[in-house]
A and B are shown apart, each in its own frame.
Chain A
Amino acid sequence: MSLQEINVKIFRYDPEADVEPRFDSFTVPVIKNMAILDVVMYVQNYVDKTLAFRCSCRIGMCGSCAMYINGRPRLACRTQVSSLGTPDITIMPLPNLPIIRDLATDMEPFFEKWKKIKPFYVGKSELKDPVAIRPDSGEREFIDQMLDCITCGCCYGACSMVATNEEYLGPAALNRAYTLIADKRDAIRVERLKAVGRSYGVWRCHDQFNCAEVCPKKLVPTKSIQQLKKRCVLQKFGVFK
Chain B
Amino acid sequence: MLNFPRILTGEGVLLNAMTWLLQRISAALLLVVLGIHIWALYVFNTSEVISFSEARARLSSAPYVLLYVLLLFFGLFHAFNGVYTVMVDMGLKTRKTTIGILIILGTALFGIGVYSIIQFIM
Contact = CB atoms under 8 A, between A and B. Distances in A.
- Tell me, yes or no, whether A binds B: yes
Interface of A: 161, 164-167, 194, 197-199, 201, 203-204, 206, 229, 232-233, 235-236
Interface string B69-90: 0000000000000000100111
A164 B89 CA distance: 6
Top 9 A-B pairs ranked by shortest CB distance?
A197-B13, A232-B17, A165-B91, A236-B17, A203-B16, A233-B17, A233-B21, A199-B16, A164-B90
Contacts, number: 45
Given A194-B13, A232-B20, A236-B13, 20 more contacts: A161-B89, A164-B89, A164-B90, A164-B91, A165-B91, A166-B91, A198-B11, A198-B13, A198-B16, A199-B10, A199-B11, A199-B88, A203-B16, A203-B85, A204-B89, A206-B89, A229-B17, A232-B13, A233-B17, A236-B18
How extensive is the interface on chain B, given as a class?
10 to 19
Given A194-B13, A197-B13, A236-B14, A229 B20 contact: yes
Contacts of A167: 91
Question: Does more than half of chain B's interface fall in helix, strand or loop, or is it mixed?
Answer: helix
A183 to B, nearest CB: 21
A233 B20 contact: yes
Nearest to B88: A199
A197 B17 contact: yes
Interface in B1-60: 10-11, 13-14, 16-18, 20-21
Nearest to B21: A233
Contacts of B18: 233, 236
Contacts of B88: 165, 199, 203-204
B21 to A, nearest CB: 5
A232 to B, nearest CB: 5
